[in-house]
């Protein structure tokens, strides 16, 4: 997989409007991702919902939520046991920044576990 394919770039499920939207956001996704991460870093050790971050950055929740998912996939954010409310009043995940020391340890521990399976 190349860096310009999902999950490293915005994806789409069907050709047409969804593909056009993914193409349009691709250029700014990394910038938005960095801004989203900065909000979580500043809030650490407290967490935030994706919708709270969207409000903080004056961005659409539809722009921020996928960036939060990407940051979680990359190990930059973790779920907390807390729940917040999203814009529709439903229960929402509260995410928290993962300090780099913890990311490094978890990567090291995973590597050790995988070595043990050989």
- Domain residue spans in the chain? 17-116
When pLDDT is cut at 50, 70 and 90, the band that residue 100 belongs to is confident
Read off the pLDDT of each residue in 95-112 and give the average, rounded to a whole number. Answer: 71
Q: What percentage of the chain carries pLDDT values higher than 70?
A: 77
Average pLDDT of every residue of the chain: 84
CA distance 57 to 36: 8
Determine whether domain 17-116 maps to CATH 1.10.10.10.
yes
When pLDDT is cut at 50, 70 and 90, the band that residue 1 belongs to is very low
When pLDDT is cut at 50, 70 and 90, the band that residue 91 belongs to is very high
In the prediction, which pLDDT does 115 show? 64
Q: Report angle CA 116, 101, 54 to the nearest 5 degrees.
A: 115
The β-bridge partners of 97 are 77
């Amino acid at each position: 997989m190349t860096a310009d394919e999902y999950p490293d770039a915005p994806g789409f499920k069907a050709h047409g409007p969804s593909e056009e939207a993914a193409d349009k956001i691709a250029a700014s996704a990394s910038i938005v991702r960095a801004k989203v991460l900065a909000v979580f870093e500043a809030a650490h050790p407290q967490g935030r919902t994706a919708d709270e971050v969207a409000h903080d950055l004056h961005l659409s929740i539809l722009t921020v939520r996928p960036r939060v998912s990407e940051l979680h996939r990359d190990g930059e954010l973790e779920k907390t046991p807390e729940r917040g409310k999203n814009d529709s009043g439903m229960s929402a995940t509260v995410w928290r920044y993962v300090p780099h020391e913890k990311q490094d340890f978890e990567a090291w521990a995973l590597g050790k576990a995988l070595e043990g399976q050989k």
